């Protein structure tokens, strides 16, 4: 999708952002992953690249946690040049650089805002970009998926997590035929609770361009 919008894309070596380890208290393991990523990504930034991340937990880690946990100049450089995918696309749209040659309607979309996007204080960029599709309406839902990092996937908390996520499930079940969320963990929870498989907003955008899945 970035290449569709005339962006030169490279994929430097990278590992898990470290959040699962950090969430479980394994700080040493998280720092080791972070160190590897910082070295690779900082080199890309020095080559003139911006870091664009499709997962909100990962973009939050790079922006907020890397400078704190790593503390290096490279970590701060990575944080300063990291954007969520739709944060980046929204900037393209604002400057008239987003390809708006959409060929297929997507209709109504119920969009769940992940917690790690809300924590970045960047607004609802995914919803904003999807509204650029002619005829599209986007209902924004800010309700907890109760995954809470890895908590909702632990056996002892699983059933409770489903109960806590019921307001979100109800909103998705009674919402538009197309459901979307940027967070893959929230998507799993929504599918478990509703039987409906949400799309990543980038998949909705791809459909509007008429591209094959």
Element (H or E) spanning 200, and its range? none
Same domain, 107 and 204: yes
Same domain, 113 and 203: yes
Q: What is the CATH number of the domain that holds 179?
A: 3.40.50
Q: Could you give the CA distance from residue 198 to residue 126 in angstroms, rounded to a whole number?
A: 14
pLDDT tens for each residue of 61-101: 999 999 999 999 999 999 999 999 999 999 999 999 999 99
- The residue out of 21, 53, 87 marking a domain boundary is 87
- The residue out of 63, 87, 111 marking a domain boundary is 87
pLDDT tens for each residue of 38-67: 999 999 999 999 999 999 999 999 999 999
Same domain, 75 and 156: no
Q: How many domains does the chain have?
A: 2
pTM, rounded to two decimals: 0.92
Q: Which domain holds residue 49?
A: 3-87
Contact 190, 118 (CB under 8 A): no
- The residue out of 87, 111, 130 marking a domain boundary is 87
94 falls within a domain: no
12 falls within a domain: yes
98 falls within a domain: no
Closest CA to 15 of 2, 1, 3, 29: 29
Same domain, 76 and 165: no
203 falls within a domain: yes
Same domain, 53 and 116: no
pLDDT band at 154 (very low <50, low <70, confident <90, very high): confident
């Amino acid at each position: 999708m970035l290449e569709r919008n005339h962006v030169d894309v490279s994929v430097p070596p990278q590992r898990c952002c470290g959040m699962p380890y950090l969430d479980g208290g394994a700080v040493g393991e998280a720092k080791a992953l972070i160190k590897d990523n910082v070295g690779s990504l900082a080199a890309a930034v020095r080559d003139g690249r911006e870091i664009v991340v499709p997962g909100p937990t990962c973009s939050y880690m790079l922006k907020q946690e890397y400078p704190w946990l790593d503390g290096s100049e490279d970590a701060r450089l990575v944080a300063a040049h990291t954007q969520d995918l739709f944060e980046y696309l929204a900037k393209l749209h604002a400057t008239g650089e987003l390809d708006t040659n959409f060929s297929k309607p997507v209709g109504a979309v119920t969009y769940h805002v992940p917690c790690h996007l809300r924590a970045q204080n960047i607004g609802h960029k995914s919803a904003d970009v999807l509204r650029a599709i002619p005829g599209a309406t986007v209902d924004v839902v800010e309700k907890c998926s109760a995954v809470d990092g890895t908590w909702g996937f632990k056996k002892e908390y699983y059933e409770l997590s489903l109960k806590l996520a019921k307001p979100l499930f109800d909103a998705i079940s009674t919402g538009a035929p197309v459901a979307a969320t940027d967070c893959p963990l929230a998507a799993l929870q929504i599918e478990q609770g509703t039987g409906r498989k949400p799309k990543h907003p980038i998949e909705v955008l791809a459909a509007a361009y008429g591209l094959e899945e």
